[in-house]
Structure 1
Amino acid sequence: MKRRKVTAAASVALALAVTATACGGSKNDNGSSGGKKITIGIKFDQPGLGQKTPDGTYTGFDVDVATYVAKQLGYKASDIQWKEAKSADRETMLQRGDVDFIAATYSITPEREKKVDFAGPYLLAHQDVLVRADDNSIKSAKDLNSKKLCSVTGSTSAQNIRDTLAPKAQLQNYGGYSECLTGLENKAIDALTTDDSILAGYAAQSAFKGKFKLAGLKMTNENYGIGVKKGSPLKAKINKALEKMVADKSWQKAVEANFGPANYQYEPAPKIGNVVK
């Protein structure tokens, strides 16, 4: 009788172990050897950088960088689970472990570095303005003081305009960049301001071909980094992957493929670990 109880208990324990193993396997099973996955945060609504297309694919420079890094970490493209990383959610997503890393026009700032770690930078962007292709009236930030300017509600770019760059500009805050683009096309506004990389992504879209151009003002420095959880060993591994991406020219190919149509005067690949102030 005693032996039977022990056997029953062992059977229950074995069943639980098998169930746990099965659950673990199904969670990470993607058809690759080992069934491993990596979860990466990107923007879903920024053409040229991070965009989820209607057919469910993901495109853009950040996507290309993240895919390359994942490959260097031992993951195939099919091993990647993409997750939308909205600006306000990025630190929380990393701290909670919702994602392994984030590549989403994520500027490295002292305030953010208190909460998360950054690999990179992998792109040096600048705040700029997008204007109509035939507009040559904006040569410097001070020229914006007499213009109707559009940015997105709550953005750092809008704050910079109000505080220092062009405090006398007629600034209009819209809910999204697409609304600003419509206003720019219809001449309701004179210029749209945000990071030049984001502006280039929009200008490169086939629907806007030849309609807009960047003024090339370079009003601020925005060092895009890959965010990881504070203290994560991934930081060093991602830095090595980024260094390789620059060295083997994959970085250059990705920039040209995503920003070329907008004639974006991008900066050379930044030195990994060197944040430009």
Structure 2
Amino acid sequence: MRVRRISTALGSAAALALALSACGTAEVGGDGGEGGGEGNGGGDTITIGVKYDQPGLGLDEGGTPVGFDVDVATYIAGELGYTPEQIEWTEAASANRESFLQQGTVDMIVATYSITDERRQVVDFAGPYYVAQQDILTQADDSEINGPEDLAGKTLCSASGSRSANNIVDSEEDGGLGVDAQLREAGNYSECLELLGNGTVDAVTTDNTILAGFAAQNPGQYRVVNNPFGEEKYGVGLPAGSTERCEEINAAITKMWDEGQAAEYLEAAFGETDFAYEESVPELDACA
């Protein structure tokens, strides 16, 4: 895959805000009265779960979510026959993504939702639409932590419902790195940032996309270690048994990358950060 690094250094909150404003801007709660059923969608509205607290990816700005995931979701919905006005946005925190899909609260979830075998037991995935890598965020003046191995004896924060911290602390037999760090679970990554800022935890770990957004939103306060490991395949979460819809979304993802739209969305979201992103379409998983 080709990799493009956006050269500007991390750190301009104002510039990030401008970048975010360039992202998708479908209003929360489409009115649904203008016939999404005339397109391929088969209904008046489509309900999509996104994050509301992740700068650059999914951030609630006065009732309008913006970010890379929002742009991707808007594009996919368009390919399914829905206009932006027909999208109803719902906040999907890490801990409630499976339940939202199982209960029919949403039609799909585009929320840094990593594809795993465990999750595939209860929900379906299309994609991935992007492949991120895991990294670590520390306070800006912390020079001791420069990789997962440096977390031994440290306190590590991860959001409820995320497996990122387990990738570090679980034994090698269980697929982890076997690092002896103490885990601290928070409700979401915004809470992890608060704990990191007040010194309750030593580091936060999750996808480098998420960490880059937070670091840019808080210039001079946090540092991304920039020593990525593993990979996180961002999928579009769907209710179990959504094989046909999965195939439609995979076709939309391929088109999005082929047309250059995905690269434009990444540039808009992370154009003011030192974040390296893939420039070519990820290898899509087969729909079950």
Work out whether the TM-score is over 0.5.
yes
Matched, 1:199 2:207: no
Q: Deviations over 1:35-61 (max 9, x none)?
A: 8222212122222212222x2111111
Measure, in 2, the Cα distance between the counterparts of 1:175 and 1:112: 19
CA contact (8 A) 1:239 1:272 kept: no
Measure, in 2, the Cα distance between the counterparts of 1:160 and 1:245: 30
Equivalent residue number for residue 226 of structure 2: 216
Distance 1:88 1:110, change over 3 A: same
C-alpha displacement at 1:265, in angstroms?
2.3
CA contact (8 A) 2:95 2:162 kept: no
Matched, 1:93 2:100: yes
Residue 276 of structure 2: SS of its match in structure 1?
A: coil
Q: Deviations over 1:206-236 (max 9, x none)?
A: xx02332321232322101112232341111
Which residue of the other structure, out of 262, 269, 273, is the alignment partner of 2:273? 262
Equivalent residue number for residue 17 of structure 2: none
Q: Larger RCO: Structure 1 or Structure 2 (Cα < 8 Å, ≥ 6 residues apart)?
A: 2
Measure, in 1, the Cα distance between the counterparts of 2:199 and 2:101: 41
Output the aligned Cα RMSD. 2.7
Identity rate of aligned residues, in percent? 48
Matched, 1:50 2:50: no
C-alpha displacement at 1:97, in angstroms?
3.3
Which residue of the other structure, out of 233, 241, 248, is the alignment partner of 1:237? 248
Measure, in 2, the Cα distance between the counterparts of 1:105 and 1:183: 22
Task: Provide TM-score, normalisation by structure 2.
Answer: 0.74
Task: Provide TM-score, normalisation by structure 1.
Answer: 0.77
The structure 1 segments of at least 4 consecutive aligned residues displaced by more than 4 Å after TM superposition are 30-35
The alignment of Structure 1 onto Structure 2 pairs a total of residues equal to: 246
Distance 1:168 1:257, change over 3 A: same
Structure 1 gaps, min length 5:
1-26
Q: Deviations over 1:155-175 (max 9, x none)?
A: 422323332435333443344
Q: Deviations over 1:100-158 (max 9, x none)?
A: 22111111111222322211101112221012344443333211215443333564223
CA contact (8 A) 2:115 2:234 kept: yes
Measure, in 2, the Cα distance between the counterparts of 1:257 and 1:202: 15
